[in-house]
Structure 1
């Protein structure tokens, strides 16, 4: 190993392990050391930038629980500024979320000065929404601006693929083997009948006629039924944005219903997902059956209705009533889909017994990441077998 590479190797281990006692940790075998002996980084002299980075990491992940952050506003502001300056945006978001979770610094979300220094992301937006009831009036304007920034960024990212998937599904025609003259697909018909070409007459006998019949003209209905319990916070953010995007597509009718122990229909507010989010009032109990009863009353054409229940299935009421309601909706012809989460945070926590019993009814039950939701809606609108669709995603 040349001198430059050796210094970089030691520098990285020094930043990973920290200073002081942490430097003693790598006396054992290092994954980067082929001779079986650890390599020490304690003798590495950090430059001024690395020292700032090191202090920021030590404050959060040091041996003392509260590190160097404490509860001092100047310290917090300086730390937030440092991580935004010296770390990539994605890493800064992870660090600030770890600070909130590990050091129980939720109070910094209630101070406008602290909040304005943070890097906006969907987790931060979800935390702010969950604190809405206890948030001081002076902080709410700042919180709304942060949430608006997150919503606008996500909307820009999600609108195009969602619109494309839905419009493609709605614009697709149905193959028809007994077409009327105006529905005849000449190109497909000629290709299918090439084997019946008659050389002496220099013509094709159209034994098989293939046409395209436009898909049903009545608008399908999509009902997003969103669990507003605290554990579903990031899913609520994504679902509200998708609801607004779907509502902007004129070839479908979209409804959005939020619930805990009460039920709120946000359909008339879908043009403003920020208003939906602040009206959701995250937290409280869960009455899934009550929400499904309300959604059932919205259905006009069951066989053209897709009901997406976004919930961890921890039912606060009677689970048996919820299960019977889900079965009833399916028997009506409604296409029910249960999303245990709509986020990219990994495996969700959910009621496994309720999930299994709903799955036993033949209803897809799974967690979905935001990037796959547009394709999911396209597949559902096309009448595809969603179990096979899920298998393809897993594959």
Structure 2
């Protein structure tokens, strides 16, 4: 088969389409075998009598062979999608629990999530390898978010003169106004005798507290990851005192580990029930200056505790001047799934409810702190 379009359809449809589209050979046949190893186990397709059977069959491939093969046969974006489906859709856990496999995988967010879900299954050797994977992904996330944070908290230009003549600080308005007397109407030019420049200064940052309350339930895993990264990027900024608190039915203050998000994530215990009210009461005890505090509750708002207690506590915080954010998602997609009834009750008593990317949260904090 030489037609690229037909080959693509043949790879999508598998062996049942061979009669109409023809067979595969060489690298295309290897791709077909790799796809069948993964998607040939789809029970939903089997129930509908749709079988993707191709190549030598999945039984002839080990997980290590499969990973080596897809890395060689497919582009990086496709490899990441196949790995994500393997660990999240088909729960092929040996991708992140087998040392031989871990040494071959390319770190990406899907594998980070898989490690955090399965780390309790790992022996010390595997956990050491998995930690390297976590470090690589977290390092990349921090590098990307740190740029947004630096931009949000960048110093503003002061409206006073500077003797340091740098192009980025050129005060065009004052320079034009001061040299208007040297305007030549025939040439339509202003001849500048004295240029003016602005000095730069950092904003005056009054002290603020930012308290991140993070739901540890399994569905919130992407938000748990990005909350840890966000807290690390906010940690140590002038005028910002950051807290990170994780909760399910219990509440754990993780603030002492904020500067090491890898260690923090490796300590995270996913699953269990959810008692948001208890977590918000804990956060209320941390508040030092109510009107200088932001409490961000990162949760799907499926409350396992008392909704009445939760609403009452949030109302009290808002009435004392604390900013309460209810974030149904804090990740790069900001695509939430949450209990809208509970979220609406919190909005009715003054909380701001929605979803944010980490960069948007950093900008929100910077806007408040810079006032």
Which of the five TM-score ranges fits, normalised by the shorter chain? 0.7 to 0.9
1:289 alignment counterpart: 277
Give the drift of 1:77.
Answer: 0.6
Q: Which deviations, in whole Å up to 9, do the C-alpha atoms of 1:14-41 show, x marking residues without a partner?
A: 222222x1357xxxxxxxxxxxxxxx5x
Give the drift of 1:375.
Answer: 3.0
Give the drift of 1:102.
Answer: 3.3
Q: Which piece of structure 1 moves more, 258-267 or 328-337? A: 258-267
Closer, same or farther: CA 130–172 of 1 in aligned 2, 3 Å:
farther
2:149 and 2:359 in contact (8 A); partners too: no
Partner SS for 1:297: helix
1:93 and 1:120 in contact (8 A); partners too: no
Alignment pair present for 1:52 and 2:40: no
2:301 and 2:342 in contact (8 A); partners too: yes
1:118 alignment counterpart: 105
Task: State the number of aligned residues.
Answer: 324
1:128 alignment counterpart: 115
Closer, same or farther: CA 217–128 of 1 in aligned 2, 3 Å:
closer
1:87 alignment counterpart: 74
Summarize the alignment of residues 139-154 of structure 1 with structure 2, pairs less than 5 Å apart: 139-154=126-141
Closer, same or farther: CA 46–261 of 1 in aligned 2, 3 Å:
same
Distance (Å, rounded) in 1 between the aligned partners of 2:58 and 2:300 = 35
Which of 142, 147, 154 is 1:155 aligned to?
142
Which of 13, 17, 27 is 1:22 aligned to?
17
Give the drift of 1:148.
Answer: 0.8
Give the drift of 1:106.
Answer: 2.2
Give the drift of 1:123.
Answer: 2.5
Distance (Å, rounded) in 1 between the aligned partners of 2:351 and 2:42 = 49
Summarize the alignment of residues 1-395 of structure 1 with structure 2, pairs less than 5 Å apart: 7-19=3-15, 21-23=16-18, 40=20, 42-43=21-22, 46-62=24-40, 65=43, 68-69=57-58, 75-167=62-154, 217-344=205-332, 347-381=335-369
Give the drift of 1:136.
Answer: 2.3
1:269 and 1:275 in contact (8 A); partners too: yes
Give the drift of 1:330.
Answer: 0.8
Partner SS for 2:153: helix
Unaligned runs of 5+ in 2: 47-52, 160-172, 178-201
Q: Which deviations, in whole Å up to 9, do the C-alpha atoms of 1:210-248 show, x marking residues without a partner?
A: xxxx97653121111111111111111111011011003
1:162 and 1:245 in contact (8 A); partners too: yes
1:163 and 1:249 in contact (8 A); partners too: no
1:28 alignment counterpart: none
TM value normalised by structure 2: 0.78
Unaligned runs of 5+ in 1: 25-39, 175-186, 192-213, 384-395
TM value normalised by structure 1: 0.73
Give the drift of 1:379.
Answer: 4.1
Distance (Å, rounded) in 2 between the aligned partners of 1:281 and 1:257 = 13
Distance (Å, rounded) in 1 between the aligned partners of 2:66 and 2:213 = 40
Aligned-residue Cα RMSD (Å) equals 3.0
1:59 and 1:69 in contact (8 A); partners too: yes
Partner SS for 1:315: coil
Give the drift of 1:267.
Answer: 1.7
Distance (Å, rounded) in 1 between the aligned partners of 2:228 and 2:158 = 30
Closer, same or farther: CA 22–60 of 1 in aligned 2, 3 Å:
farther
Distance (Å, rounded) in 1 between the aligned partners of 2:84 and 2:205 = 47
Distance (Å, rounded) in 1 between the aligned partners of 2:273 and 2:314 = 20
1:166 and 1:378 in contact (8 A); partners too: yes
Q: Which deviations, in whole Å up to 9, do the C-alpha atoms of 1:133-192 show, x marking residues without a partner?
A: 332233111111111111111111111111221345xx5889xxxxxxxxxxxx79x99x
Distance (Å, rounded) in 2 between the aligned partners of 1:315 and 1:173 = 47
1:227 and 1:286 in contact (8 A); partners too: yes
Give the drift of 1:47.
Answer: 4.6
Q: Which piece of structure 1 moves more, 325-334 or 92-101? A: 92-101
